């Protein structure tokens, strides 16, 4: 068992697989995970959405599950965590408007702690201003945001992950095996 702790930033309509699979994977190997959402407390729920790739020009969206938060956003102390996890879905598009969320991201990056962001989660990193001079990946529709934030967008296979220093990124949930493995390496668990 490990004594590592990860903070998971989420909100309503986070991508279902992108919150649940990494959450459960980390717990499986003994990493403690505090899942939080601005304005919500322990025991409250967020709604998720399932994004699928069915041959359309973009992903489809279906109702997901309710996800129960296990920590209070208002009580977060970034210094007490070893890493940060940001799932995708629609939540990042509005979470990036929250100054507290952006300050949390900046604190993790300034401390060079591992940050894992998948799919649209990179929207939060772009808004936090931590991508300049770095290379990362995301859902392809977020590539221009990475470039506009001064980063380099890496176009990789949908099941791949990219590591740049303390940052691991992936395009979407098909990358979970590579994404989780690289994050666990950065955390020092693997």
- Checking if the pLDDT of 52 tops 90, the result is no
Catalytic residue check, 120: yes
Nearest to 105 by CA among 90, 119, 86, 133: 86
* 8-state DSSP, 120: G
Say if residue 105's pLDDT is above 70: yes
Instruction: Show me where the domains of the chain are located.
Output: 5-187
The whole-number pLDDT of residue 46 equals: 98
Q: Return the pLDDT at 53.
A: 81
**Quick one: pLDDT at residue 1?**
65
Given this model, what pLDDT does residue 59 score?
83
Give residue 2's pLDDT. 78
Question: Which one, of 164, 92, 79, 159, lies nearest residue 126 by Cα?
Answer: 92
Which pLDDT score is estimated for 60?
Answer: 87
Residue 65, SS3 per DSSP: strand
Pick the CATH number of 5-187 from 3.40.718.10, 3.40.50.11720, 3.40.50.880, 3.30.70.1060: 3.40.50.880
Residue 19 confidence class, pLDDT cut points 50, 70, 90: very high
Taking the CA of residue 41 as centre, how many other CA atoms within 13 Å lie in the half-sphere pointing to its CB? Answer: 0
Average pLDDT in the chain: 97
Name the active-site residue from 51, 120, 162, 176: 120
30 pLDDT more than 90: yes
| Both tokens assigned to 30 | 């003994």
**Percent of the chain clearing pLDDT 90 (strictly above):** 94
Q: Using an 8 Å Cβ cutoff, are 161 and 167 in contact?
A: no
Lowest mean pLDDT among 54-63, 76-85, 174-183: 54-63
């Amino acid at each position: 068992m490990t004594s590592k702790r990860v903070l998971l930033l989420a909100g309503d309509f986070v991508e279902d697989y992108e919150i649940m699979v990494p959450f459960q994977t980390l717990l499986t190997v003994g990493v403690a995970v505090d899942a939080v959402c601005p304005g919500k407390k322990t025991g409250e729920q967020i709604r998720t959405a399932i994004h699928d790739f069915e041959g359309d020009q973009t992903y489809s969206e279906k109702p997901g599950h309710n996800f129960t938060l296990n920590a209070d956003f208002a009580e977060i102390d970034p210094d007490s965590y070893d890493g940060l996890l940001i799932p995708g879905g629609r939540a990042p598009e509005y979470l990036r408007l929250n100054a507290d969320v952006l300050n949390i991201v900046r604190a993790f990056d300034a401390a060079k702690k591992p940050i894992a962001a998948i799919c649209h989660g990179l929207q939060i990193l772009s808004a936090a201003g931590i991508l300049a001079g770095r290379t990362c990946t995301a859902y392809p529709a977020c590539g221009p945001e990475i470039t506009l934030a001064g980063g380099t967008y890496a176009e990789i296979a949908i099941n791949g992950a990219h590591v740049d220093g303390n940052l691991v990124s992936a395009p979407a949930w098909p990358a979970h095996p590579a994404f989780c493995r690289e994050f666990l390496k950065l955390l020092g668990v693997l």
